[in-house]
Amino acid sequence: MGNVTIGGDAPVTVQSMTNTDTRNALETRNQINKLVQAGCEIIRVAVPDLEAARALPQIKKGLDIPLVADIHFDYRLALASLEAGVEGLRINPGNIGGADKVAAVVKEAKRRNTPIRIGVNAGSLEKDLATGGAVTPEAMVQSAVRHIAMLEKMDFYDIKVSLKASDVPLMLEAYRLLAGRVDYPLHIGVTEAGTLFRGSIKSAVGIGILLWEGIGDTVRVSLTGDPVHEVRAAYEILKSLGLRQRGVEIISCPTCGRTQIDLITIAGEVEERLAALDKPLKVAVMGCVVNGPGEAKHADVGIAGGKGEGLIFRKGKVIRKVKEEFLVEELIKEIDQIIGGRN
Ligand code: SF4
């Protein structure tokens, strides 16, 4: 899709979605820029009306990550988005009008080599599949298979599929079933996962389990809040499974009765100061001098607290002693030296 390879042995890529009013191209563009800085690799925008579709060319200008238009109900919005040059469409062929309307969209997507994501959502499953209101993994898979068949019948195979649910066991089972049945790339996520804390944990469990089983080609952590957090959380999930590397890895101890510095504040500051640094560095922030350097000897650089002071160490070797108030500053200086190659 655009300049991003999806599926097969390609790395799992990170997606997010803007929450600005798409009709406001400037605001949407600004948010996309922030998301790109955080590492977002595919961006989706809602296209609820023609005015939003008309804003797409301006949103796209100079953008070098694929832009995906999210369409519901109206096939004309899909056509207008294709016309605007989006790199991907997220539609459910069954809900954008009759067969002739689906055909018009698919024909145009094919002509432009634009992939389509079929996005099945447990909350909006076709009535005939949700028997008695209950959504089962099998019903979600049936919905996906039905939409896939519609596209395949039109000789269209540039497809990605998602089967999102806010219930983790339900989405896990649905994705497993589908992964055993089709060979299309899968976009995975827990939908409506919640606010930053709860949503990140829920997403990490759902997405993490699937990725560990080898299922999933693109991910979105869906959070109620600033989408930049979605991108950060997605990378933490991918990094913790060794699937992607981005930014600095911070190892920090939980603190205990031995801690004699304000390590919680220090760790927060270090995280904030290093948030924008995209270097494969391991930084340890440890509370105690006795265990710190030893426990974090695999870190490139770190600090270990003492009483009102701390040690700066590199690869477990102590470099110097610093007063507590200068610890963060000295650690950052040390990191600058490593990055600058001034060892
Ligand atoms: Fe406690 Fe030291 Fe371990 Fe931190 S590194 S949890 S202060 S023993």
Pocket probe for ligand 1: among 259, 297, 307, the residue whose CB has the most ligand atoms within 8 Å is 259
Q: Which residues contact 112 (CB under 8 A, 6 or more apart)?
A: 82
Which structural domains are found in the chain, ordered by start?
13-240 (3.20.20.20), 249-339 (3.30.413.10)
Q: List helix spans (H) across 112-257.
A: 137-153, 168-179, 196-212, 227-240
Contact 35, 227 (CB under 8 A): yes
The question of ipTM being above 0.95 is answered as yes
**DSSP-assigned letter for residue 225:** S
Closest CA to 26 of 53, 59, 54, 48: 59
Alpha carbon 145 to its chain's center = 25
Closest CA to 266 of 247, 281, 283: 283
pLDDT of residue 93: 80
Nearest-CA residue for atom 2 of ligand 1: 288
pLDDT of residue 122: 87
User: Which is the closest atom of ligand 1 to the Cα of 256?
Assistant: 1
Pocket probe for ligand 1: among 258, 263, 266, the residue whose CB has the most ligand atoms within 8 Å is 258
Side-chain-side CA neighbours of 256 within 13 Å: the count stands at 8
Tokens of 146: 């039905």
H or E stretch including 284? strand 282-286
- Tell me how far the alpha carbon of residue 331 lies from the centroid of ligand 1, in angstroms: 19
Q: Residues near ligand 1 with C-beta < 6 Å? A: 253-256, 258-259, 286-288, 291-292, 295
- Tell me how far the alpha carbon of residue 205 lies from the centroid of ligand 1, in angstroms: 27
Pocket probe for ligand 1: among 250, 251, 252, 253, the residue whose CB has the most ligand atoms within 8 Å is 253
**pTM for the full model?**
0.89
User: Which is the closest atom of ligand 1 to the Cα of 295?
Assistant: 5
Closest CA to 28 of 3, 46, 2: 46
Q: Mean pLDDT of successive 10-residue segments in the chain (343 residues)?
A: 95 98 97 96 98 97 95 94 97 84 95 96 83 86 94 96 95 97 97 92 98 98 96 94 91 93 96 88 89 77 93 91 96 93 60
Coil, helix or strand at residue 181 = coil
Tokens of 267: 């760790």
40 is in an annotated binding site: no
